[in-house]
Structure 1
Amino acid sequence: MNFNITVTPIKEIKADLEIIIVIDGNLKHHSVKDRKLLKKAGFSGSQDEVCHLVEKKRLYVGAKHLRGAAIRPAAATAIRSLIGKKAYKTVKISTYVSHPRCSASIRAMVEGLVLGSYTFSKYKSKKSKSPVKTVEISLEGYEPHEITMETAARAVHNGEIAATATNYTRNIVNTPPDDFYPESMAQKAKKLAKKLGLECTVLKPKELKKEKMETLLAVARASRHEPRVIHLSHKPKNPKKVITLVGKGLTYDSGGLSLKPGDYMVTMKADKSGASAVIGIMKAVAELGLPIEVHGFLGMVENMIGGDAYKPDDVLKAKNGKTIEVRNTDAEGRLVLADVLCYAQQEVKADYLFDFATLTGACVVGVGHYTSGVMGFNDDLKEMVKKQAKIAGELVTPLDFNDYLKKTIKSDIADICNISNTRYGGAITAGHFLSEFIDEEHKEKWAHIDIAGPAFVEHVWGENPHGASGAGVRMMLRLIEKLAQEDSAH
């Protein structure tokens, strides 16, 4: 999809279709040219409501307000409605700006158009994709706010990179486990590194054994696919900050010997969403050329069953020397992250450390399908994640640690247990478990982000399709961009 920005008035631009966003149900606005027809069709302009007037070559979609949170899903819904309709190769759209000289809504609109055009039809005999090749964006806006060509171009550029990286992540998550396993991610990381000038190191079982990553190796034991730990680095000259990202990459999770029920095994290809988000973020950071040093660590493992599977009652030793009593082999992601977090802190002394994981069903129970939980010891850092997620169009809520829940992961025979002794507060107890593998230097710099809810949802929601959403990519990219801007301001 190509984006062209022009000062040409919208009515003078030639295109197969015009997309018009109706704000707050205001059908009396001058941009609404077909009031009578819309009323006859019963169109009220509510959020994401669509009315396609084929003969008029206009497609109307509703948005609650002019801010990105409403514009992004509205644009996505509009473009999604054109998938499979081959007649619409070019579309035109005005700019929707909420404040003078503010381009955030333009970026959100572009993100919505790219995200909404996404399809995953690799395994379908009949492919269905968006026909739109070119989008003409007129700087003639919904409101008479002045936006320079340079400002608009930067917003379009950044929005396209953010959304394309999100779609890149979606493709990885959606790929079935027989076609995507730890070595697949290693090859993808190497290819990305070569293309974008990133550094890439891949640790195989021999190196993992040398690094004493015994908990990760235990989870991987019963799979025919050997594990990999991947380290991608974006190292600009004179970086303003150093950030480490760690992703859980279970390419498939059967539950191990604590076997999941059949229904719960479906969609477990999505258990690699954390690592997939990290590689997507690395892609976007490199393409934007941000002056922040960013390291991505991906723990890639498949959790299967067999004669060599690790077992409930086993006691494992993590990289930092702590022993772990295994009481459930389906609480495997935290075992993988324990070692990768330790390795990441050994390799990089970061200003900020974030991990992303589809870690617990308890997080989905607690906050729903659409929201990620953020945990850690630093309240300011959790709020920073929440704020930047909101700007990016993702939903995040802090889940506070407490000493009472921490006691539930104590073990009588080891230093810690991999599950708690209560069925309640599972997202937080998992966060407490991970905190045991954060060193003192990084404790105030670390946040754990449980993306189990939004990473993979089996219906369309907002700008997200059925399946993988790419959760985590846009929120973290916004956070990294914000850190770069703040440092520049100083």
Structure 2
Amino acid sequence: MKVNLIENDFKNVESDIEIFIVDDLENCEDKDILENIGFEEKDETVALLPEIGRIYVGCENQDYESIAIAIAAAIKKFNDTKFETAKIELNDLDLKALVEGALLGSYEFDEYKSKKKKKKKQELNICNSKLTSEMKEIYEESKIISKAVNKTRDIVNTPPADFYPKIMAKTAKKMAKEAQIECVVHGEEYLKKNSMNAMLSVGRASTHESKLIHLSYKPENAKKKVVLVGKGLTYDSGGLSLKPADYMVTMKSDKSGGSAVIGILSAVAKLNLLVEVHGIIGAVENMIGGDAYKPDDVLKAKNGKTIEVRNTDAEGRLVLADCLCYAQDEIEDIDYIFDFATLTGACVVGVGEYTIGIMGNDTVLKREVVSNSLQSGEYATTLPFNRFLRKTIKSEIADICNIANTRYGGAITAGLFLDNFIYEENKDKWVHWDIAGPAFVEKAWGYNPHGASGAGVRATLQFLKTL
């Protein structure tokens, strides 16, 4: 799907089909026809009138999310036709929502279909009689952001047989070359040499070597320095604490955090933001075997803290622990540290499968992250730390345990575990993003398809733009 921004009067632009977003049927030219077919001004209600070359789509509000969902629904209907061009009049509609809704809503992952749909060269023309420089900037920016989200979706959707740590490293290197940013990849010898035993242990039983990936975007005169850390579990069997069969399905999505970091870095470079951004990804495969790490093992992380393992399926936090330490040891004068992970099913239970759980020590920073997330079109909410849950991850034989001694508050106790690997000077600069819910959903929702959504990409880019 190609989206164009056209400086011309809507009536003067030739097109096979016209798209109208309707929030008030009374003012609609084809009101009688639409009423006769039962059309209502409700989200995702679509009417195709091929005899007059029009698509009508309902919309309950005029905010970003409603407009993006509406145009995505219209584009899906348009894609099912043989028409090649469609047009919509900008008027007072949100341009960012139109561009991103169209590009994100038209996404398909058919790489593994033996009979692929024939790709049609369809285009959407967004028309306005006069374009401002601000409109052109929003249009270009929204295309870059949408491409980054869709790239992230592609990575997450790729099956584990074809996407293991070595391939994640290659993907990061390719992106870095295209975006002209730095990329350094470390293997297991580096992990051993630098006492990153938590991350090293998780991938020990896999035939695929674990990789620590470090991406760097360093513009001149950068205003801030931000570190993004991503959980890159290319597959998670649960290890010796083996997942039930049903729970293993979709575990290719456990690399969503690391995939988001790759997507974000690709967009940051193209947006030319005056923010230095580092992306750290722990690319690991958690498997079973004679060399697998075990419940009852005690692991020593990079910062010297010892971890009692009571469940090998709580592996993502072990990988992130060492990656967070690496980031703080290797990068000076950090302003913000964000980590992204499909970390807990508890977060999905707590806030639903469409919302990101935001945790950390600074209330104001957490609110800023949530505010920017909502502004970008992503759902997020804060989950509070407290002293009583902190006690539940204490160990009798080590410094800390990798799971809590209670079944309640699992998302928060996972965040509290990670807090043990944030150095004192960085406590108020760190935010943990649990993206387990929205990162991968097995049904289409809004302008998101079945599968990966690219969770965290738009929200983070929105935050970075404010810096």
Q: For the structure 1 residues 461 and 132, does the alpha-carbon distance in structure 2 shift closer, same or farther, using more than 3 Å as the test?
A: farther
Q: For the residues of structure 2 that align with 1:408 and 1:129, how far apart are their CA atoms?
A: 55
Does structure 1 retain, via aligned residues, the 8 Å contact 2:86–2:124?
yes
8 Å CA contact retained: 1:256, 1:330: yes
User: 1:129 and 1:210, CA in 2 relative to 1: closer, same or farther beyond 3 A?
Assistant: farther
Say whether 1:374 aligns with 2:358.
yes
Matched, 1:27 2:34: no
1:15 match: 15
Q: How many angstroms apart in 2 are the aligned matches of 1:332 and 1:424?
A: 19
**CA positional deviation for 1:96:** 4.9
Q: Shift in Å at residue 130 of structure 1?
A: 6.4
State the match for 2:419 in structure 1. 435
Are the counterparts in 2 of residues 88 and 132 from structure 1 also a CA contact under 8 Å?
no
**Are 2:258 and 1:258 equivalent residues in the alignment?**
no
Is 1:336 the counterpart of 2:319? The answer is: yes
Cα distance in 2 for residues equivalent to 1:394 and 1:171 = 19
| Distance change in 2, residues 1:130/1:395 (3 Å) | farther
Match for 2:49 among 24, 32, 53?
53
Which residue of 2 is the match for residue 118 of structure 1?
A: 107
Aligned to 2:337: 353
The one-character-per-residue Cα deviations of 1:94-121 (angstroms, maximum 9, x if unpaired) are 11536xxxxxx20111000000110000
**DSSP 3-state at the match of 1:329:** coil
The verdict on how the C-alpha distance between 1:401 and 1:255 changes in structure 2, with shifts beyond 3 A counting, is same
Structure 2 residue corresponding to 1:297, chosen from 280, 296, 302:
280
Query: How big is the shift at 1:17?
Result: 1.4
Deviation, 1:191, is 0.9
Measured against aligned partners, the alpha-carbon deviations of 1:284-338 in whole angstroms (never above 9, x if no partner) come to 1011111111100011000000000000000000000000000000000000000
What's the CA shift for 1:152?
1.3
Is the 8 Å Cα contact of residues 165 and 284 (structure 1) preserved in structure 2? Answer: yes
Assess if the C-alpha contact under 8 Å between 1:69 and 1:391 holds in 2: no
When the two chains are superposed, the root-mean-square deviation of aligned CA atoms in Å is 1.3
CA distance in 2, matches of 1:439, 1:464: 37
In structure 1, the residue corresponding to 2:32 is in which secondary structure? helix
Q: Which moved more, 1:194-203 or 1:148-157?
A: 148-157
Change (3 A) 1:324 1:129: farther
Match of 2:88 in 1: 93
Equivalent position to 1:404, from 388, 392, 395: 388
Distance 1:469 1:96 in 2: 29
**3-state DSSP class of the match of 2:166?**
helix
220, 241, 245: which one aligns with 2:228:
245
Shift of 1:427: 0.1
Aligned amino acid, residue 211 of structure 1: N
Q: How far, CA to CA, are the matches of 1:79 and 1:17 in structure 2? A: 11
CA distance in 1, matches of 2:160, 2:359: 29
> TM-score, normalized by length of structure 1?
0.93
| Displacement of 1:148 | 3.8
Q: Whole-Å Cα distance in 1 between the matches of residues 389 and 460 of structure 2?
A: 28
Native 8 Å contact 1:118 1:130 kept in 2? no
State the match for 1:421 in structure 2: 405
The alpha-carbon deviation at position 37 of structure 1 amounts to: 1.1
5 Å-filtered alignment, 1:75-90, equals 75-85=71-81, 87-90=82-85
Instruction: Report the CA distance between 1:22 and its aligned residue.
Output: 0.8
1:64 aligned residue: 60
1:79 is paired with a residue whose SS is helix
Partner of 1:179: 162
Alpha-carbon distance between aligned partners in 2 of 1:74 and 1:235, rounded to the nearest angstrom: 38
- Seen in structure 2, the aligned counterparts of structure 1 residues 96 and 218 have a Cα distance that, compared at 3 Å, is farther
8 Å CA contact 2:337, 2:431 repeated in 1: yes
Q: After superposition, where does 1:195-214 map in structure 2 within 5 Å?
A: 195-214=178-197
Shift of 1:203: 0.5
**In 2, Cα distance between the equivalents of 1:329 and 1:10?**
59
Q: Is the 8 A contact 2:3 2:103 kept in 1?
A: no
Q: CA offsets, 1:63-109, max 9 Å, x none? A: 22222121111111211223343x222111111536xxxxxx20111
Show the counterpart of 1:315. Answer: 298
* Structure 2 CA distance for aligned equivalents of residues 451 and 4 of structure 1: 32
2: CA distance, partners of 1:280 / 1:128? 26
Matched to 1:27, the amino acid is: L
Q: TM-score, normalised to structure 2's length?
A: 0.98
**Equivalent AA in structure 2 for residue 93 of structure 1:** I
In 1: Cα distance, 2:20 partner to 2:413 partner = 47
Give the % identical residues: 57
Residue type of the alignment partner of 2:38 = G
Q: How many corresponding residue pairs?
A: 466
Q: CA distance change for structure 1 residues 290 and 130 in 2, over 3 Å: closer, same or farther?
A: farther
CA distance in 1, matches of 2:118, 2:278: 34
Name 1:390's counterpart in structure 2.
374
Select which of 445, 456, 461 maps to 1:472. Answer: 456
Gapped regions of structure 1 (runs ≥ 5):
99-104, 141-146, 484-490
Q: Tell me, yes or no, if the aligned pair for 2:165 and 2:284 is still in contact at 8 Å.
A: yes
Residue aligned with 1:448, SS: strand
